[in-house]
Structure 1
């Protein structure tokens, strides 16, 4: 079948809640993917950072196959022999004390919301149903009904209300705004260390340290959503490490499985997660043995193959090369590790979509965010040689 035939079937039978580039992929290996017509592309999106370890990593694949032959699912009605080790390995790797496994990033966020509200009522003494959680402008934490209720993206919110109360929105990167927004009912502040979907927006230096201090002084739980920034993407295992802080709750997902299976987790401590009692929260698939075996191997290869260090080194190189492009269409190039964005001048004909479509014809797949920003987030196994190859194409795309 040709590309258009696949697209026609998808458009006929599928809900149109995405606007993908018109490439139909069928195979992946490392940083490369191939379409149904045999064309090869450098993946510069990594499934929104879910494929940090590269496509079809052989060791993760083998772990999945081995576990699939043994036991895939029991539900949490029974124990399994993989979950304890995932707990221990995650805690050792991230300096956490407790782990609650889920499936998707959005489920991890919902879990965090429930957990800190419970903490607020049972530990902080907030009156029933009065708990407030502070979030940031232009946030992206998922697409469940509760989460979009505190989104500032009109497209995400329109005609989906009414929304759950209990959220207060402040500007991102503004520590004073956080301090001013806190009340006796504030139980948590949830923030992305770098706003990914907003266009790789990096807060001012020292912001996270200030936020950590403010939350500590005011007995407010700091939740860092590291679902995109975590597990090596920014050149550190967790982005919080860039400022030497530790969150009270850390949310991870995406690359936790290397792209093989939906796995997410809430990392915290006894003070918060210890309040949850049997029957108060859970998931049929959360913590299943197949997911745990895959996640354990995904974490192992990140460390053993020095992918985090490579993200720091190649990310700095890639960012430096992109900044050398001279084009009147480019307003700013920014990034940390292999989480990079090019923001175009507003009014650029065709916007970021046009550049992405042009790069697709040259063998590079990336994706626009909003109208004028292009993100580059290749797998963490990319080399400087690969980047040099890509730069020739990117420069050409901006030279026309």
Structure 2
């Protein structure tokens, strides 16, 4: 029988004793979520400004996803891919048409999808581009975050994630983010390159946003060198940045649009997180036939990948993004949020920089990455009823569910302003 939790202190102590210490969460123990709100075990209510790292774009416990989950869970949950099921095909049709690709390879977690894309790109390189076997190279960006598997940490420059986990997987070239000159040089000097793997916005690195034409020019360079562009939209995709995908640029449509001039079509699109609205691990790798056809039976797969429960949940989660116009809402609210934070920066020396797209934003705290200031501010935000988390030491990421209203957004901005200005006052005293 599971032990009943009576207090946050008790729950935290149990985790400390019985769980691996692989995370450093804020000292809050959550027990309920609905829409943009979370509640702790003592009953205190909070605005969620992290959205489980953008996994709950549709809001916590969305009733439509909940209904879909319950209905499918009472019918069929898992068959493995040893057999067909009656949900996978409709899901594959729906998601490929939704994002404008020929084929999808369904997986579970985000990093599984990244690993899948890497395998597809390498196999395409050997069989279609003619790269000599075992010589394929993939270009990545500095300060990337694509997960924490052995292969992925091999091309990370986050030593905390890398140290003492070697030997590392070879075959990767790391260049500065948002640097087209470096990309061109890497492509020119390494003709065996098969792919450029990139986050259109670097979320974990502190919401680093590129120049407006960066993705467009990167795509052109990849085409010139017969290299695949792999877009990791696990965190940025599905409405978060004010467009359906971050590679959609300035388009505010609710789906793949052939006419949008700012859209950069990746050769491989990697999705996860909000693909299930936070209910179930679902990820996907999308590509067109000339790329996806290199994968044959027995060469890649997953027991749970493409399971009927996850497929039904994902269809519903994507329907909600379109039906409730969450991309447009993220675009409108994000503009107001950044305006409010820029006004705050004029009042407080703690706010050094504001950046972001849509409802994926960050403020850079005017202190060193080694300081505890950003953490202390997040603890104070928690005490004032808003949950956010630092990244890279002195950066606070703000990413609420996309179902947030304008009134709720202003209430959250009031909390952030009050909290940071209180730090200003404390310093003066």
TM-score, normalised via structure 1 length: 0.99
Structure 1 residues 303-322: aligned runs within 5 Å:
303-322=322-341
Kept in 1: contact 2:368–2:393 (CA 8 A): no
Kept in 1: contact 2:50–2:389 (CA 8 A): yes
Aligned to 1:9: 14
* Offset from partner CA, 1:284-321 (integer Å, 9 cap, x none): 00000000000000000110111111111111111111
Q: Does 1:203 align with 2:224?
A: no
* Offset from partner CA, 1:157-213 (integer Å, 9 cap, x none): 000000110000000000111110012200000000000000000011100011010
Q: 2:302 aligns with which of 265, 272, 283?
A: 283
Aligned to 1:391: 413
Aligned to 2:383: 361
Structure 1 residues 37-48: aligned runs within 5 Å:
37-48=42-53
Give the superposition deviation at 1:96.
1.1
Aligned to 1:143: 148
Q: 2:95 aligns with which of 82, 90, 95?
A: 90
Give the superposition deviation at 1:350.
2.6
Q: d(CA) in 2 for partners of 1:351 and 1:82?
A: 49
Q: Does 1:109 align with 2:130?
A: no
Structure 2: segments with no counterpart, 5+ residues: 1-5, 250-261, 423-429
* SS of residue paired to 2:338: helix
Aligned to 2:255: none
* Offset from partner CA, 1:220-239 (integer Å, 9 cap, x none): 00000000000000011111
Give the superposition deviation at 1:115.
0.4
Give the superposition deviation at 1:351.
2.2
Q: d(CA) in 1 for partners of 2:159 and 2:49?
A: 27
Structure 1 residues 1-400: aligned runs within 5 Å:
1-182=6-187, 183-242=190-249, 243-325=262-344, 326-347=347-368, 350-400=372-422
Q: d(CA) in 2 for partners of 1:55 and 1:369?
A: 23
TM-score, normalised via structure 2 length: 0.92
- How many residues align? The count is 400
Give the superposition deviation at 1:398.
1.1
Give the superposition deviation at 1:275.
0.7
Q: Out of 230-239 and 348-357, give the one that drifted further.
A: 348-357
Q: d(CA) in 2 for partners of 1:328 and 1:130?
A: 50
Q: d(CA) in 2 for partners of 1:226 and 1:351?
A: 30
Give the superposition deviation at 1:389.
0.9
Q: d(CA) in 2 for partners of 1:351 and 1:278?
A: 52
- The runs of 4+ residues in structure 1 deviating greater than 2 Å are 346-351
Q: d(CA) in 1 for partners of 2:351 and 2:321?
A: 33
* Offset from partner CA, 1:309-360 (integer Å, 9 cap, x none): 1111111111111111021111101110000000011249632101100000
Q: d(CA) in 2 for partners of 1:63 and 1:345?
A: 45
Kept in 1: contact 2:56–2:273 (CA 8 A): yes
Give the superposition deviation at 1:384.
1.0
